[in-house]
Every structure is written in structure tokens, then in C-alpha cells.
Amino acid sequence: MKIYSRFLLKLAILAAVIALIAFVLMQTSYSNFIIPVFWYMLVGMVFLTALMHYSILQINEKSTSNFSSRFMMISGIKMIAYLIFITIYVFSFTSQAKVFLISFFILYLIFTLFEVFQIVIYLKRGK
């Protein structure tokens, strides 16, 4: 799957850029905005994004007619996993909740936009 390996390379570059920015922020006066769980969030989002993209490629190869419903199902499962993680963390570490939620939202937005753009590019090339 050449398409998937190309996606993984782009995803790794995106993750490296985010990690570099976070590392630079940790060295400045903004270090209190990078909480220790940030690195786990980054790795988790990279893993889930890669897994979801692989699933979408498999679904599209098997049955294009069921693509929309299965894409929504996978997105829903991913969102539920994120919500469970958010809920557990916020209730466990209430003092860091605000910084955590802002960091999570920024990462979620970046990875979701990346994933959607990559899926649109893939689907346009397929037609």
C-alpha cells in the first residue's frame, strides 16, 4: 500500500513538527502550557489517525457504496474514545483541566483537518 505509507510519512512529519513546537515552548516562558500528558496525547492521536486512515482505505477498497456510513461509524468510535480519555483526565486532574482541554482541542483540530484533507485527496485521486 504505497498510498498508506505516503500518508504515514506525512503524519510522521506533522507529528515531528508539533513535537518540535512543543519542545520549543517547553524551553520558553510558555512551559506551563505543555503538561506531561501532552506527549501521550500526541502519540495517541498519531496512532488513532493512522489506524482510522488505514481502516478508511480498507473500507473504500472493499465497498465504496458503504463508505459514508462506515466512515461515520469509525469517526464516532474515535470520538467516543477521545471523550472517555478527556473525561477520565479532567476528573482525575482538575487543576490541569483548562490547559489539558486547550491542548487537546488544538491537537484534535490539527489532526482532524489533516485527516480530512488526506481523505479528500485520496478520494479525488480515486475518481
Is residue 126 very low, low, confident or very high in pLDDT (cuts 50, 70, 90)?
Answer: low
Give yes or no for residue 64 having a pLDDT over 90.
Answer: no
Between 34 and 81, the more confident residue is 81
Within 27-66, where are the H helices? 38-62
- How many Å separate Cα 37 from the centre of its chain? 15
Percent of the chain with pLDDT over 90: 52
Residue from 75, 45, 35, 36 nearest 59 by CA: 75
Residue 59 has what pLDDT?
84
The stretch 10-35 carries a mean pLDDT of: 88
Total structural domains in the chain?
1
Question: CB of 101 within 8 A of CB of 90?
Answer: yes
User: Is 127's pLDDT higher than 60?
Assistant: no
Question: Residue 46: which of 101, 114, 105 has the closest Cα?
Answer: 114
Question: What average pLDDT does this structure show over 65-85?
Answer: 87
Going by pLDDT thresholds of 50, 70 and 90, the confidence category of residue 112 is very high
- Domain around 52: 2-126
